[in-house]
Structure 1
Amino acid sequence: MLFYTIASMLVAGTALAQTPPGFVPQVNKTLDVYYGTTYITPGLMVKKSSVSKAPTIGVTGVTLTGAKYLMVMIGKPPQGTATKRGTVLHALLQDYIPTTQTLNGSLVLTTKATGPASYFGPAPPAETPKHPHNYLFLLHEQPANFAVPQSQKSVVSGRMNIDWIKFMKDAGLTDPLYANYLQVQSGDNTRRG
């Protein structure tokens, strides 16, 4: 009986994670991410061409209490591959606010900001064999008077090898409230669920 209880807890814990295995911090609440009308379930494999423009984001079943939110998108190379590439900052957008607009039940958040780092879509490099790359979305409550810390400015402008835990600490961010991720592999022109 104890075995089944532990196994059930492990399966439930895995099902709740909205970030890929091994990513820290783990987040259990889903950020609703839409590319057009396509809803991104955590880990969905998508075509590179379908995620070239910034997504619409939202949350379901909650009332947000913060004034503003910060959304980051980080590209992470496949775990266990021999790649020397590090993480890539695909977007760091501030000043998201909740709206009264809904999309399939999601309360939509919008921003007019295009920075501190504008969105650019996934574009994994050619690889043999091909490996799915993870692209993570994290939503943080935005501190008042948020600005990229001096210690992080060159990383944000260069976009390469961002250490999100260090960024969070330097910027005074609390743990992410919501997360999601998708997968893209080089040359992948199919969409799988």
Structure 2
Amino acid sequence: MVGKSVFGVGALMAASVTAQTAPDFPIQVSQQLGVAYGNNTVSPPGEKFPRPETANPPSINFSPSTPSPSTSRAVLLMVDTEVPQNNTRVQLIHWLATNITLSTTTPLAIPSPQPVPYLQPSPPVGDIPHTYSFLLYPQPDNFSIPAQYADLAQNRIGFNVTQFVADVGLTEPWAGNYITVQNLTG
């Protein structure tokens, strides 16, 4: 019996080490991205945040593990996977920032303008808690956003993170994290 308990605890610990994005998120990441709203750092991943605390964009911190990144620029995505639409749940892009320069300074400097400016998490009142996943990718040389995404900032709902990543030529993400937000008061 003790063996099963030790194994169970070990499996839970291993899962918590590798689960930096939500369990049902289509892209999984093993390295944690530093995300902080004000003085509140997202730790552990999936921490529930009050909606008012998410009014402004979070600060993003990234300390690359070895080997160090081969590029000095990054792409940041923030996606809600639980937006209700026609009796189903779809994705909505909350933030797309490009040309983020990696450096030893923390937090990372997010340049302006951004292709898709930060949008505060705002689940419908009384809906289930929504999951907001953050992904940091290496930005390829000559990176550009294809024409089919030109109006992404105006048409955020129905976003498909997996398709977008493939269409823009992103590789494996460096790091990720996620929060949950529930709107109980409006």
Quickly name the TM-score band, shorter chain normalised: 0.7 to 0.9
* 1:94 maps onto 2:98 in alignment: yes
Tell me the CA shift for residue 99 of structure 1. Answer: 3.3
Tell me the CA shift for residue 165 of structure 1. Answer: 0.9
SS of residue in 2 equivalent to 1:169: helix
State the one-letter code of the partner of 2:125. A
Q: CA offsets per residue over residues 66-91 of structure 1, 9 Å max, x none?
A: 2100000001218xxx9534111000
SS of residue in 2 equivalent to 1:173: coil
SS of residue in 2 equivalent to 1:25: coil
C-alpha RMSD of the superposition: 2.6
Q: CA offsets per residue over residues 99-143 of structure 1, 9 Å max, x none?
A: 3434xxxxx21122332101111000023xx42110110000011
Tell me the CA shift for residue 161 of structure 1. Answer: 1.3
For 1:122 and 1:158, how far apart are their aligned partners in 2?
16
For 2:64 and 2:78, how far apart are their aligned partners in 1?
23
Q: Percent identity, aligned pairs only?
A: 27
Unaligned 5+ segments in structure 1 are: 103-107
**Equivalence map 1:157-172=2 (5 Å):** 157-172=154-169
For 1:167 and 1:74, how far apart are their aligned partners in 2?
12
Alignment counterpart, residue 131 of structure 1, candidates 125, 128, 143:
128
SS of residue in 2 equivalent to 1:167: helix
Q: Which residue of structure 2 aligns with residue 105 of structure 1?
A: none
Aligned residue pair count: 180
* 1:55 maps onto 2:58 in alignment: yes
Normalised to the residue count of structure 2, the TM-score between the two structures is 0.84
Unaligned 5+ segments in structure 2 are: none
Tell me the CA shift for residue 3 of structure 1. Answer: 4.9
For 2:29 and 2:48, how far apart are their aligned partners in 1?
20
State the one-letter code of the partner of 2:92. V
Tell me the CA shift for residue 29 of structure 1. Answer: 0.5
State the one-letter code of the partner of 1:53. N
**Equivalence map 1:4-153=2 (5 Å):** 7-8=8-9, 10-16=11-17, 17-41=19-43, 42-60=45-63, 62=65, 64-77=69-82, 83-102=87-106, 108-127=107-126, 130-153=127-150
